[in-house]
Chain A
Amino acid sequence: MSALLEVSGVSVSFDGFRAINNLSFSIGPTELRAIIGPNGAGKTTFMDIVTGKTRPDSGTVTWGEKGISLLKLSEAEIARAGVGRKFQRPTVFEDQTVAENLTLALKSPRGPLAALWFHLTGAGRQRVEELAAKVGLTDHLSRKAGELAHGQKQWLEIAMLLAQEPKLLLVDEPAAGMTLAERELTTAMLVDLAKSHAVVVVEHDMDFVRRLNCRVTVLHEGSVLAEGSLDHVTADPQVIEVYLGRG
């Protein structure tokens, strides 16, 4: 299976601090992967590099079958190529309705002129309704996103991520601020998504990671410390050392 995303030998420093140090990582087109690691391990910086927010000092990031370098693309171009990102804090457009938020995210031509002439077609409307139903926001479509409860904003953002129809989903702490029941639904959704997408989940909550039941990459000080099943990495003496040392 050829990789969808291939990160190799990437390093980046901020004011002399090596946030990412010779990091290599790859994920297939239909794979669920959890990234864990202590604070400051470089999890968020890794996502920033893949989404084009941060430019690495060295290394390569290639994408897709044709092996396009993501380093040459802007954030918007990377997003259009099929990388979707969900932030840790829910970031929705609070001043706009749930329907508008979803319509914005809906896969469509992204240029200014296309937006001017954009018309929500029957298929598009149906898709927005489906997504809203999927996350339980059907009754809230006409409300402003800013009025939603915290958990609902998380769901809205997840729905927006799905509306983009990305090939790779980068999900930062999806379970933060969710109740136990909601976490279970999130787990189920992520596992289901991984059947047709590549999904990378960054998470602190070990319990949550266990439920995902997938390959785990442990980051430490900007590079990969261990990779494998959760049982495998938790048995790794180095990993235990890192967690114990911090704990």
Chain B
Amino acid sequence: MTLPLTETPTPATQAPAPLSSFQKYPGGPGAEPPAGSGAEPRGSAALAPRSFLAKNPSVFWFLLALAVLTAVVTILSPALGMGAMSTSFVKTLGKTLCLCIAALAMDVVWGYTGILSLGHMAFFGLGGYMIGQWLMYARTEEIVVAALASDPIPPTAIEIAQGVTTQIFGVVGSSDLPLVWSFAHSLPLQLMLVVLVPGVLAGIFGWLAFRSRVTGVYLSILTQAMTLALSLYLFQNDSGLRGNNGLSGLQNLPGLAETSQDDLSIWFFWASALGLALAYLLCAWATSGKFGSVLRAIRDDEARVRFLGYPVEGFKLFVFTATAVLCGLAGALYYPQAGIINPAELAPIASIYLAVWVAIGGRGKLYGAVIGAALVSLLSTWFTGGRAPQVPLGFYTIDWVDWWQVLLGLAFVCVTLFAPKGIGGIFDRIAPPDRKGAPLGPDDGALMEKEARE
């Protein structure tokens, strides 16, 4: 190494070029933007304010597809007398839409922010429990009142409450109304709990985890532990939520005893479709602006975002909690259609499925998450419902009820290996949303440009 210190000083007059020469800076190799990039706004036009739909072209197509689906299901539903579709199938579709809402939440927290939460179905389940408490209490109350109406003396409020408690908790050998049922008589209060319980739990969990800067696989394991602990707790009769029996009869809406399940199923389907549309709009809005930009930046380089002055932990906590609340709301729409909820719904595997749906559908794209959740959960229903034809191999017969899991596992591995962008990536090939290259950095981007020239 030569000793740099012995060099003669350069005269100070030599240096400063005027700053305006920066404007002429040609930019080095590959400076010119690729030619023929077409519709993409060049230069400062990229900064021009664009409408919400222009920024999110998928929103229009998604809402259109959802509207068409809703119309078709409505026409075919038994409620309108066509009867081409069974009530249970309408319910299955309605439930699927709720799962899509959860998948949207998962996509925002994982695909956009990079937090692989494997516990979001716990919040979904909690939302279900909260609405289930009211459904079960109010419905049982009706039955008890009807039963006591034949008594010569009109029943007191205490007698009714006692009757309801015995009805609900006889199965776990208890006759006291647990504390967690304090608000079960009131729909508005339980609806508040649908939001508050998942929100507060996610808030406390997230605050502890993110504050300690737990990231990556450790955070995933923690979220699995959370959902497992919650599930095990709910399995106990002491939890006050009927242990392993769970809450049942949720498909019967209080005050609507005369309404047939045909009508109820289509009402819930409509509500689920509306919920999904609103959730999609909300997620598209949140992820398209600067907020989404910060989330993706956190996913790609958390430390750098801190040096820009953004409270990374605050953002993570906000997203984790908000998506937990969204999951809770989706669960509150799901379980009245399912009719029953028990602690097994909060098992760790449920949250892993949610991640698998989003991965197969394509994370980082909202429509990808919806497609993945809808496709995989409907296929799952079909395969495990015993309707898929068995495959006789002579020496062995493939029964899809058993082999579906294997098929799903294979599909997951294949998507990870061969189509990391998931099913949603196929749409991008048909109609590239923008030509800004692949989402994984310069190498992939360069490849895309080469492909475009060919």
At the interface, yes or no: A213 with Cβ under 8 Å from chain B? yes
Q: How far is the CA of A141 from the CA of B48 in the complex (A)?
A: 11
Query: How far is the CB of B355 from the nearest CB of chain A, in Å?
Result: 21
Q: How far is the CA of A113 from the CA of B319 in the complex (A)?
A: 11
Question: Which chain B residues numbered 417 to 454 have a C-beta less than 8 Å away from chain A?
Answer: 436-437, 439-442, 445-446, 449
Q: How far is the CA of A99 from the CA of B289 in the complex (A)?
A: 12
The 8 Å CB contact of B28, one of A77, A100, A179, A243, is A179
Residues of A contacting B296 in the complex (Cβ-Cβ under 8 angstroms): 93, 95-96
User: Among A4-12, A17-25, A62-70, A144-152, which stretch is in contact with chain B?
Assistant: A144-152
The 8 Å CB contact of A112, one of B14, B15, B17, B318, is B318
The 8 Å CB contact of A192, one of B16, B27, B45, B307, is B16
Interface size class of A (residues with CB under 8 A): 35 or more
Residues of A contacting B4 in the complex (Cβ-Cβ under 8 angstroms): 206-207, 243
The 8 Å CB contact of A135, one of B9, B25, B319, is B25
Residues of B contacting A149 in the complex (Cβ-Cβ under 8 angstroms): 27-31
At the interface, yes or no: B173 with Cβ under 8 Å from chain A? no
At the interface, yes or no: B154 with Cβ under 8 Å from chain A? no
Residues of A contacting B44 in the complex (Cβ-Cβ under 8 angstroms): 129, 132, 138, 141
Judging by beta carbons under 8 Å apart, are A111 and B314 in contact?
Answer: yes
Q: How far is the CA of A148 from the CA of B26 in the complex (A)?
A: 12
Residues of B contacting A243 in the complex (Cβ-Cβ under 8 angstroms): 3-5
- Given A76-B311, A143-B33, CB of A129 within 8 Å of CB of B293: no
Q: Mark A205-221, 1 if CB is under 8 A from B, else 0.
A: 01100110100000000
Q: How far is the CA of A100 from the CA of B308 in the complex (A)?
A: 13
Whose C-beta in chain A lies nearest to the C-beta of B298? Answer: A93
Judging by beta carbons under 8 Å apart, are B309 and A80 in contact?
Answer: yes
Query: How far is the CB of B57 from the nearest CB of chain A, in Å?
Result: 16
Judging by beta carbons under 8 Å apart, are A104 and B436 in contact?
Answer: no
Query: How far is the CB of B394 from the nearest CB of chain A, in Å?
Result: 51
Judging by beta carbons under 8 Å apart, are A115 and B291 in contact?
Answer: yes
The 8 Å CB contact of A95, one of B21, B24, B306, B440, is B440
At the interface, yes or no: A94 with Cβ under 8 Å from chain B? yes
Residues of A contacting B440 in the complex (Cβ-Cβ under 8 angstroms): 95
Judging by beta carbons under 8 Å apart, are A185 and B445 in contact?
Answer: no
At the interface, yes or no: B75 with Cβ under 8 Å from chain A? no
Judging by beta carbons under 8 Å apart, are B43 and A234 in contact?
Answer: no
At the interface, yes or no: A187 with Cβ under 8 Å from chain B? yes
Residues of B contacting A141 in the complex (Cβ-Cβ under 8 angstroms): 43-44, 46-47
At the interface, yes or no: B385 with Cβ under 8 Å from chain A? no
Q: Taking each of B15, B18, B44, which has the highest tally of chain A beta carbons within 10 Å of its own beta carbon?
A: B44
Query: How far is the CB of A144 from the nearest CB of chain B, in Å?
Result: 4
At the interface, yes or no: B312 with Cβ under 8 Å from chain A? yes
Judging by beta carbons under 8 Å apart, are A110 and B7 in contact?
Answer: no
Q: How far is the CA of A147 from the CA of B45 in the complex (A)?
A: 19
Residues of B contacting A125 in the complex (Cβ-Cβ under 8 angstroms): 47
Q: How far is the CA of A75 from the CA of B302 in the complex (A)?
A: 11
At the interface, yes or no: A123 with Cβ under 8 Å from chain B? no
Judging by beta carbons under 8 Å apart, are B28 and A76 in contact?
Answer: no
- Given A76-B310, A139-B42, CB of A120 within 8 Å of CB of B47: yes
Question: Which chain A residues numbered 178 to 197 have a C-beta less than 8 Å away from chain B?
Answer: 179, 182, 184-185, 187-189, 191-192
Residues of B contacting A188 in the complex (Cβ-Cβ under 8 angstroms): 15-19
Question: Which chain A residues numbered 82 to 119 have a C-beta less than 8 Å away from chain B?
Answer: 84-85, 87, 91, 93-100, 103-105, 110-113, 115-116, 118-119
At the interface, yes or no: B294 with Cβ under 8 Å from chain A? yes
At the interface, yes or no: A16 with Cβ under 8 Å from chain B? no
Whose C-beta in chain B lies nearest to the C-beta of A187? Answer: B15
Judging by beta carbons under 8 Å apart, are A207 and B7 in contact?
Answer: yes
Residues of B contacting A244 in the complex (Cβ-Cβ under 8 angstroms): 3
Query: How far is the CB of A85 from the nearest CB of chain B, in Å?
Result: 5
Whose C-beta in chain A lies nearest to the C-beta of B40? Answer: A142
Q: How far is the CA of A116 from the CA of B446 in the complex (A)?
A: 32
Whose C-beta in chain B lies nearest to the C-beta of A112? Answer: B318
Judging by beta carbons under 8 Å apart, are B290 and A142 in contact?
Answer: no
Residues of A contacting B442 in the complex (Cβ-Cβ under 8 angstroms): 94, 146-147
Residues of A contacting B30 in the complex (Cβ-Cβ under 8 angstroms): 147-149
At the interface, yes or no: A239 with Cβ under 8 Å from chain B? yes
At the interface, yes or no: B22 with Cβ under 8 Å from chain A? yes
Q: A136-B25, A142-B40, A234-B5 are in contact. List 13 more A-B contacts (CB 8 A).
A: A75-B303, A79-B308, A103-B290, A104-B297, A116-B286, A142-B33, A147-B446, A155-B25, A188-B19, A192-B16, A192-B19, A213-B12, A247-B2
Residues of B participating in the A interface, judged by any CB pair closer than 8 Å: 1-7, 9-10, 12, 14-19, 21-33, 40-47, 49, 286, 289-291, 293-294, 296-297, 300-301, 303-304, 306-312, 314-315, 318-319, 436-437, 439-442, 445-446, 449
Residues of A participating in the B interface, judged by any CB pair closer than 8 Å: 51, 53, 74-77, 79-80, 84-85, 87, 91, 93-100, 103-105, 110-113, 115-116, 118-120, 125, 128-129, 132-144, 146-152, 155, 160, 164, 179, 182, 184-185, 187-189, 191-192, 206-207, 210-211, 213, 230-231, 234, 239-240, 243-244, 247
Closest 8 CB pairs of A and B: A136-B25, A142-B46, A79-B309, A206-B4, A151-B28, A118-B290, A75-B306, A112-B318
27 CB < 8 A contacts A-B: A79-B308, A85-B307, A93-B296, A99-B47, A105-B308, A110-B311, A112-B319, A115-B290, A115-B291, A115-B294, A115-B315, A134-B19, A137-B27, A139-B43, A140-B33, A141-B47, A142-B46, A147-B442, A152-B27, A210-B7, A213-B12, A234-B5, A234-B6, A239-B5, A240-B5, A244-B3, A247-B2
